Amino acid sequence: MVQLGVNIDHVATVRQARRTYEPDPVWAAVEAQLGGADGITVHLREDRRHIQDQDVNRLSDLVHIKLNLEMAATPEMVGIACDVAPQMAMLVPEGRAEITTEGGLDVLSDRSRLAEVIKQLEDSGIMTSVFIDAREDQIQAAAEIGARVCEVHTGPYAEAFHEHGRGVESPAIDAELEKVARAGALIRSLGMGFNAGHALNYANVGPIAALEGVSELHIGHSIVSRAMFLGIREAVSEMKQVILRSQTD
């Protein structure tokens, strides 16, 4: 069964807009768990634009489902991850000027450094994941450095879905979906877990969730946006049902 990891970064974005104490992302994580989430994802960015260090510590203590810490591969973040010991750490690219993550990690050109980061995390008992584009060379490099999971960047698929008819009948959409499917097959053949995420929403998630072998989908902005109208528990429950239905269609 495909699992749902809920990214709660943008609950913290709303809080940080006022530099106050609410809405509390930890409360959102608890509500997400009650709604059926299988895991919680947060990105502790170097500029601390949304999630803060204390959020990660509280989540580690209070949430009873998997905690996935998105992080840049820097000494500071490795140290924090080793102290907090989340169930999974996902290495992502990070740019100060970007609004959100704009592409996959370039594992291929930074193999030796990333291999050392992964070893440090694994030595602390933390499962390691890398966020990469659906490219064979990046997947092969991820396997070479010891990553246990690859999360395929679904942004190009989501963009095609939005721009080309918003249905899987479009050749442009089908081509992007096929890239993710081929990437997933290669990831699995190399013994790694196949996750996917970025820009997935209630309209476009079904075809991704139906791909063979996908283990986890990490979705945040769409759920937080829907929760403004429904409430986080109901929003997560609705997303989970969309994913589950895709397994039986």
Pairing of strands 66-71, 39-43: parallel
Angle between helices 53-62 and 25-34 (to 10 degrees): 30
- Which of 31, 70, 94, 216 is catalytic? The answer is 70
- Which of 10, 153, 198, 218 is catalytic? The answer is 198
Residue carrying the six token digits 């064979």: 136
For the question of residue 198 being annotated catalytic, the response is yes
Give dist(CA 16, CA 168) in Å, integer.
Answer: 38
Q: What is the DSSP letter of 100?
A: S
Whether the bond between 207 and the residue before it is cis, its omega within 30 degrees of 0, is no
- Which of 43, 50, 153, 218 is catalytic? The answer is 43
Rg (the chain; Cα; Å)? 17
Q: How many CA atoms does the CB half-sphere of 175 hold within 13 Å?
A: 7
For the question of residue 218 being annotated catalytic, the response is no
For the question of residue 164 being annotated catalytic, the response is no
227 token code pair: 């929760």
Catalytic residues: 43, 70, 198
